[in-house]
Amino acid sequence: MIGLCLLIRRDLRLAFRGGTDAMMGVIFFVLAAILFPFGVGPDAAILPRIGGGIIWVVALLAALLSLERMFAGDHEDGSLDLLYLSPVSLGQLALAKAIAHWLTSGVLLLIASPVLALLYNLPSSAFLPLVATMALGTPTLSLVGAIGAALTLGARRGGVLLALLLLPLYIPVLIFDAGAIDGAIAGRDITPQLMILGGFLLAALALAPWATAAALRQAIE
Amino acid sequence: MSIGIGNRGNVQGLTTHKLGCIRGERAVFAGLDLALNPGRAMLLSGPNGSGKSSLLRVLAGLLPAAGGRVDWEGTDVTEDRDGHRARVAYIGHADPLKPSLTAAENLAFWAKLYGFDPDIEPALFQFAIEPLADVPVRYLSAGQRRRVTLARLALGQNSQAGPTLWLLDEPATGLDPGAVSMLANTILAHLSNEGVAIISTHGGRLDALLNDHADRFDMHEFAA
């Protein structure tokens, strides 16, 4: 537990000192989402209809941007060897990295999303569901993303491979996130979608660190 | 259950039996037997690619052995991986330091993670880097970074139940003569404390300083 906190603190400090790197994901998120209305046109009927989906697709790509570096720095400078030799297990390391990634990307997306909802003219009834799906969905992205980040360690063109690996895995999250927002706009009960998203998160929390640890073990060899 | 080595309790230090290693479908070394008693160092020599680094990584448990076994005090280290990890201090080619953190912050992180004494001052003094403690590592020279990396050895040494098996992969790379002496003194203190060290080298000052306390091992004989 102490090891877990130490690792998270270290990653947060590195992200903080790194400055712009950590902010890049959220800046990309806001900019890309702002571009869509210009392309689609200012039709007050279309924007709310596609807004939820677009915000989520862009959030997903923003999370993907910062995933590639999750383990790469520690792999390159030999820190990963030392982390493996430390009393902290690789599973704990994977969990710590995913939590740190979420705190430096998912949380920022979560905070920025209501602003974008305004931009897409989403009805106020959709704001809370949007934030709720973000809160449930983005940690899943970080946890599942850790598996991909660990698998592509040391690979050439790792970024492209990472996207190919992860985007199919992100589709279920995307479907239920966008479905929940659509449902909220139409005035339907969205509890089932939120329950399923919660289920995804719990499954990812239980399984992803374990799979990530196996991938990291391969990378160390 | 176990047969063969007899008298297991009396076996001391590190031994390997018919150890082999395969990297990318190529056998690096095979049938490697070595034995090292507490209080002794072993200097690994051999041309580039002869498997010095691979051997150190196998001994650390970072690479799986392709046949053979590594024993510590007569017991296969794969039987107690956590116990083996706790006794290993590994210094690789790279300096595992974060450029945006200061030297002290980097060292403090490893000390806390490994459960070493959190007081890092003595380790900084041991490698004469106390003036650089608050400088971000990105502004340090290669030799200064190496000193910070090596100060990790001193951290374990100054702690209760620090690592006993030091695996050092060309530790003196980039060090000036003064720093090599500091490293040699650190290693000698470790040996006098019944520790074990295996060091890959290409000769030089460190070899000479450790000469009286070290066995030599030429990887060339075991090339597969």
The pLDDT assigned to B219 comes to: 84
Query: Mean pLDDT per segment of 10 residues, for chain B of length 224 residues?
Result: 45 87 87 90 89 92 90 88 91 93 94 91 93 94 95 88 91 92 94 92 87 87 74
B62, B86, B113: residue with CB nearest A6: B113
Q: Using the beta-carbon criterion (under 8 Å), do A82 and B85 form an inter-chain contact?
A: no
Q: Which distant-in-sequence residues (6+ apart) come within 8 Å of B94 by Cβ? A: A76, A77, A78
| pTM as predicted | 0.91
Q: Using the beta-carbon criterion (under 8 Å), do A85 and B64 form an inter-chain contact?
A: no
Q: Using the beta-carbon criterion (under 8 Å), do B114 and A87 form an inter-chain contact?
A: yes
In whole angstroms, give the CA distance from residue A79 to residue A37: 44
* List of chain A residues whose C-beta atoms are within 8 Å of the C-beta of residue B97: 77
B86, B95, B97: residue with CB nearest A87: B86
Tokens in use for A192? 């089932």
Q: Going along A4-113, which residue ranges are E strands?
A: none
Q: Using the beta-carbon criterion (under 8 Å), do A85 and B96 form an inter-chain contact?
A: no
**Boundaries of domain holding A62:** 2-220
Domains of chain B: 39-61+80-222 (3.40.50.300)
Total domains in the fold of chain A? 1
Question: Does A10 lie at the interface with B, CB-CB under 8 angstroms?
Answer: yes
The pLDDT assigned to B6 comes to: 41
How far lies A31's CA from each of A26, A27, A28, A64, A170, in Å?
Answer: 9, 6, 5, 16, 21
Tokens in use for B73? 């005090």
In whole angstroms, give the CA distance from residue A22 to residue A76: 19
Name residues of chain A where pLDDT drops below 50: none
The pLDDT assigned to A20 comes to: 64
* List of chain B residues whose C-beta atoms are within 8 Å of the C-beta of residue A2: 112
The pLDDT assigned to B10 comes to: 61
Chain A nearest CA to B81, separation (Å):
10
* List of chain B residues whose C-beta atoms are within 8 Å of the C-beta of residue A79: 96, 98
Tokens in use for A51? 């807004």
**Coil, helix or strand at residue A198:** helix
The pLDDT assigned to A155 comes to: 81
Find tokens 């090292």 and name the residue. B36
Q: Which distant-in-sequence residues (6+ apart) come within 8 Å of B70 by Cβ? A: B14, B15, B16, B19, B58, B59, B76, B77, B78
Tokens in use for B68? 């053979």
Q: Do the Cβ atoms of B21 and B46 come closer than 8 Å? A: no
Report percent pLDDT > 90 for chain A: 69
Q: What angle do CA A182, A49, A109 make, to 5 degrees?
A: 70
Q: Using the beta-carbon criterion (under 8 Å), do A221 and B63 form an inter-chain contact?
A: yes
Listed as own residue / partner, the contacts of B120-126 with beta carbons closer than 8 Å and 24 or more positions apart are B120/B151, B120/B155, B122/B154, B122/B158, B123/B151, B123/B152, B123/B154, B123/B155, B123/B158, B124/B151, B126/B151, B126/B154, B126/B182, B126/B186
**A·B CB contacts under 8 A:** 62
B99 backbone dihedrals φ, ψ, rounded to 5° = -60, -30
Q: Do the Cβ atoms of A159 and A68 come closer than 8 Å? A: yes
Which helix (H) or strand (E) segment is A68 a member of?
A: none
How far lies B164's CA from each of A157, A221, B65, in Å?
Answer: 40, 23, 21
Condensed to tens digits (0 to 9), the pLDDT of residues A5-14 reads 999 999 999 9
How far lies B29's CA from each of B67, B68, B165, in Å?
Answer: 11, 11, 21
Q: CA nearest A16 in B: which residue?
A: B100
Question: Does A214 lie at the interface with B, CB-CB under 8 angstroms?
Answer: no
Average pLDDT, rounded, for chain A: 91
Q: Do the Cβ atoms of B65 and B19 come closer than 8 Å? A: yes
In whole angstroms, give the CA distance from residue A192 to residue A69: 34
Q: Using the beta-carbon criterion (under 8 Å), do B98 and A18 form an inter-chain contact?
A: no
Tokens in use for A176? 């239920």
ipTM value, please give it: 0.90
The pLDDT assigned to B5 comes to: 43
Q: Tell which of A79, A83, A216 to mutate to test the B interface (max B CBs under 10 Å).
A: A79
Q: Using the beta-carbon criterion (under 8 Å), do A86 and B97 form an inter-chain contact?
A: no
**Coil, helix or strand at residue A139:** helix
State which amino acid sits at residue B60: A
* List of chain B residues whose C-beta atoms are within 8 Å of the C-beta of residue A220: 62
In whole angstroms, give the CA distance from residue B105 to residue B112: 10
Q: Using the beta-carbon criterion (under 8 Å), do B85 and A85 form an inter-chain contact?
A: yes
* List of chain B residues whose C-beta atoms are within 8 Å of the C-beta of residue A83: 113
DSSP string of chain B, one letter each residue: ---SS--GGG--SEEEEEEEEEETTEEEEEEEEEEE-TT-EEEEE-STTSSHHHHHHHHHTSS--SSSEEEETTEEGGG-HHHHHHHEEEE-SS----TTSBHHHHHHHHHHHTT--S--HHHHHHTT-GGGTTSBGGGS-HHHHHHHHHHHHHHHHTSTT--SEEEEESTTTT--HHHHHHHHHHHHHHHHTT-EEEEE--SSHHHHHHGGGEEEEEGGGGB-
